[in-house]
Amino acid sequence: MTEYISRSAQKRRFKDEEGVAEELSLLTDKDLKLLPASQLVKDEIIRCRTVKGGARKRQVKYLAKVMREDSVDAILEFLVNRKGSHVKITKLQREVERLRDVIINEAIEEQQSTIQAGLPWEPNWQGAEIDAVVAHYPVDEGDLRKSVHQYVKTRIHTYYREVFRILKAAVEKDEMLRNNV
């Protein structure tokens, strides 16, 4: 699944990562020892504690950059388990929104091309993005295709929300299965 990521989406991702970095900079020494991160990340967290004001903001941004080079998933899991952080939930929510938008945009393009060809647009339309989502996540393909088809055809917002609910359930189930393995 390769798609264009808008500058706004990139900025939102970076802001979320800076929020994680800010939370990490507030960890106690005891929590810092348990943090599943590289020594470089831990050193940057300690540096964040020593500075104030604008320098602290720059240091937190640098910490976020260093975190990006490492595995962020283990850090997010640690924050959720240790501090009850909502960062991971927000990340999953944004992923679901992205998947929904990618699938719906693909469906709209497919609908327009079939209409231009003078053919009726069917619920079993073919698309690389929806096939990739179905292959990656445990989702009911029939329900997803039906909801996407209904939304693209009618533009009723209820179907848009239904696509989101279907994808959210699939992403959460995938996350649960990955954590249990």
- Asked whether the predicted pLDDT for residue 40 surpasses 60, the reply is yes
Instruction: Give the DSSP letter string of 57-72.
Output: HHHHHHHHHHHHHS-H
Q: Are residues 94 and 176 in the same domain?
A: yes
- Asked whether the predicted pLDDT for residue 148 surpasses 70, the reply is yes
Nearest alpha-carbon partner for 90 in 41, 20, 159, 3? 20
Section 51-79 average pLDDT:
86
Residue 14 lies inside a defined structural domain of this protein: yes
Q: Are residues 99 and 64 in the same domain?
A: no
Domain tally, the chain: 2
Look up the domain containing 102 and give its range.
90-180
Residue 27: its pLDDT value, please? 87
Q: Using an 8 Å Cβ cutoff, are 20 and 79 in contact?
A: yes
Q: How far apart are CA 164 and CA 148, in angstroms?
A: 10
- Residue with token string 């009618």: 154
Section 33-55 average pLDDT:
88
Per-residue pLDDT band at 103 (split at 50, 70, 90): very high
Q: Are residues 21 and 77 in the same domain?
A: yes
Q: Are residues 100 and 166 in the same domain?
A: yes
Section 10-38 average pLDDT:
86
Residue 162: its pLDDT value, please? 96
Section 156-178 average pLDDT:
92
Q: Using an 8 Å Cβ cutoff, are 151 and 104 in contact?
A: yes
Residue 17: its pLDDT value, please? 85
Q: Are residues 133 and 95 in the same domain?
A: yes
Section 53-60 average pLDDT:
90
Residue 181: its pLDDT value, please? 63
Per-residue pLDDT band at 136 (split at 50, 70, 90): very high
Q: Which of 47, 63, 83 is the last residue of a domain?
A: 83
Q: Are residues 75 and 94 in the same domain?
A: no
pTM: 0.68
Residues 6+ apart with CB under 8 A from 139: 133, 166, 167, 169, 170
Residue 2 lies inside a defined structural domain of this protein: no
Residue 54 lies inside a defined structural domain of this protein: yes
Section 116-140 average pLDDT:
90
Q: Are residues 104 and 176 in the same domain?
A: yes
- Asked whether the predicted pLDDT for residue 96 surpasses 90, the reply is yes
